[in-house]
Amino acid sequence: MAVFSSKGVVVISVPILVLSVAAAAILLFLLLSATFSSSPTCSCPPPTSGIGQSQRISPSPEDLRWVKAQIDANGLHMHQNVLRKGINPRTRQQQLQDLLHSVLPLGLYVSPFRQAGLDDMTQSRFLLFVQVQDADNHTALPCPGELLVEEHHSNYGEPWAGGRDVFEFLAESIHLTPNSQVLEIGCGTLRVGLHFIRYLNPGHYHCLERDELSLMAALRYELPSQGLLSKRPLIVRGDDMHFSRFGDDAKYNLTYASAVFLHMPDKLVWIGLEQLVSRLKPLEGRIFVSHNIKFCSRLGGEECTKRLNDLGIEFLRKRIHDSLLFNHYEIWFEFRRFKA
């Protein structure tokens, strides 16, 4: 408490002094809180660990306007391509030949074995020797020279960049989430599959592919180069359209075949559809087939519809996808399982 001394001086006791300091500190805290709360909120988006279900996958109109503005701002125009210093003028085939000559004798296993003329027994012994001697060395894995010059990027008739375009269309068509299960029939060298693997949770992308070099490109080159080995996609070699090797528990939100059914006998396609029905989520799951469905149309409309219905599948619609990257459109046919 405050008291007056005999000389008229005010003397403040210690408890009163402590309480006064505490009250001043509380008042200052309240004033600062009010000041910060009235300031504008930060418009920066909060950090996220991944793409959520509500976030957009394909470019927005604002994205397209931005990239066009960047092209205009930099004065970029399409000129005739001219080879010049700083851009490799060699074709992939020329690069491959240079590689084969420069890496020998290591080329015995880095390049295709047929280039070295080794029989099967010698190949097996050599690879076993390399793996035993240097099991922890990444270079102990065989990598054909075709992959090292990225020849596999030109094997499928469309620019490699088209894979992103197909991914965006399919992902938004089914409202893809990281927890979705996806099966690709004929994933090739993962032109499309890489984007699904990157987006989905580990183990949620499956693929059936028959071509050996394509599988080598996927497993030995594309997955490591994109840092996606930890996503553990299940990629199986086969052309029999039997999916038991993917396990009994897989229920797919999306199964798609991009220009694959065109090259298969109709009978095999129908075998595949019969196998797929029980693995597709009822109502929610989708099958997408690109280009045409001659396996169906060759039967005639009524017969095709009846056969699909007998399997528990119904045709929903034909969809035309306008490509963002190229001056063309792609036709996709959408099916779903309607029976539980």
| Shared-domain flag, residues 97 and 207 | no
Is 56 contained in some domain? no
The pLDDT score that the predictor gives to residue 217 is: 87
Q: Could you tell me the two tokens for 125? A: 């012994």
The pLDDT score that the predictor gives to residue 60 is: 82
Domain-ending residue, one of 103, 121, 149: 149
Domain-ending residue, one of 149, 178, 198: 149
Model confidence over 48-96: pLDDT tens digits? 444 444 577 887 888 878 877 887 877 777 666 555 444 455 666 776 6
- Greatest mean pLDDT among 112-121, 145-154, 200-209, 241-250 lies in 200-209
Taking the mean position of all CA atoms in its chain, how far away is CA 34? 47
The pLDDT score that the predictor gives to residue 267 is: 94
Tell me the C-alpha distance between 257 and 187, whole Å. 8
pTM over 0.75: no
Overall number of domains in the chain: 2
Q: How do beta strands 205-209 and 182-185 pair?
A: parallel
Tokens 């890496």: give the residue: 103
| Shared-domain flag, residues 315 and 167 | yes
| Shared-domain flag, residues 304 and 175 | yes
Model confidence band, residue 46 (pLDDT cutoffs 50, 70, 90): very low
The pLDDT score that the predictor gives to residue 22 is: 62
Please tell me whether residue 36 adopts helix, strand or coil conformation: helix
Tell me the C-alpha distance between 242 and 271, whole Å. 8
Helices (H), the chain: 14-38, 61-73, 92-103, 107-110, 113-116, 120-133, 145-148, 162-173, 193-199, 212-216, 223-225, 266-277, 294-297, 301-311
The pLDDT score that the predictor gives to residue 193 is: 97
Question: Per-residue pLDDT for 36 more than 70?
Answer: no
The pLDDT score that the predictor gives to residue 239 is: 82
Tell me the C-alpha distance between 111 and 144, whole Å. 4
Report, as an integer, the average pLDDT of 22-35. 60
| Shared-domain flag, residues 278 and 170 | yes
Report, as an integer, the average pLDDT of 323-338. 87
- Contact between 311 and 277 under an 8 Å Cβ cutoff? The reply is yes
Tell me the C-alpha distance between 142 and 127, whole Å. 8
Residue 18: DSSP 8-state:
H
Tell me the C-alpha distance between 311 and 308, whole Å. 5
- Buried b or exposed e, range 76-113, using 16+ CB within 10 angstroms: eeeeeeeeeeeeeeeebeebbeebbeeeeeebbbbbbb
| Shared-domain flag, residues 255 and 294 | yes
Is 101 contained in some domain? yes
| Shared-domain flag, residues 106 and 203 | no
Helix (H) or strand (E) holding 182: strand 182-185
Widest pairwise Cα distance in the chain: 118
Question: Per-residue pLDDT for 320 more than 70?
Answer: yes
Mean pLDDT of the chain: 76
The pLDDT score that the predictor gives to residue 125 is: 47
The pLDDT score that the predictor gives to residue 21 is: 55
Range of the domain at 162: 155-337
Is 232 contained in some domain? yes
- Contact between 203 and 234 under an 8 Å Cβ cutoff? The reply is yes
* 42 or 312, higher pLDDT: 312
Question: Per-residue pLDDT for 159 more than 60?
Answer: yes
Question: Per-residue pLDDT for 179 more than 50?
Answer: yes
Domain-ending residue, one of 107, 125, 149: 149
Q: To the nearest 10°, the Cα dihedral for 89, 94, 98, 101? A: -170
Candidates 227, 271, 247; CA nearest to 183 is 247
Number of residues that this document lists for the chain: 340
Report, as an integer, the average pLDDT of 211-233. 88
The pLDDT score that the predictor gives to residue 213 is: 83
Single-letter code of the amino acid located at 134 = D
Q: To the nearest 10°, the Cα dihedral for 104, 108, 114, 118? A: 120
Tell me the C-alpha distance between 137 and 301, whole Å. 57
Q: What CATH number is attached to the domain comprising 278?
A: 3.40.50.150
Instruction: Out of 91-95, 220-224, 249-253, 285-289, pick the least confident.
Output: 91-95
Taking the mean position of all CA atoms in its chain, how far away is CA 231? 10
* 119 or 201, higher pLDDT: 201
Distances (CA, A) of 205 to 35, 98, 194, 259: 51, 36, 10, 19
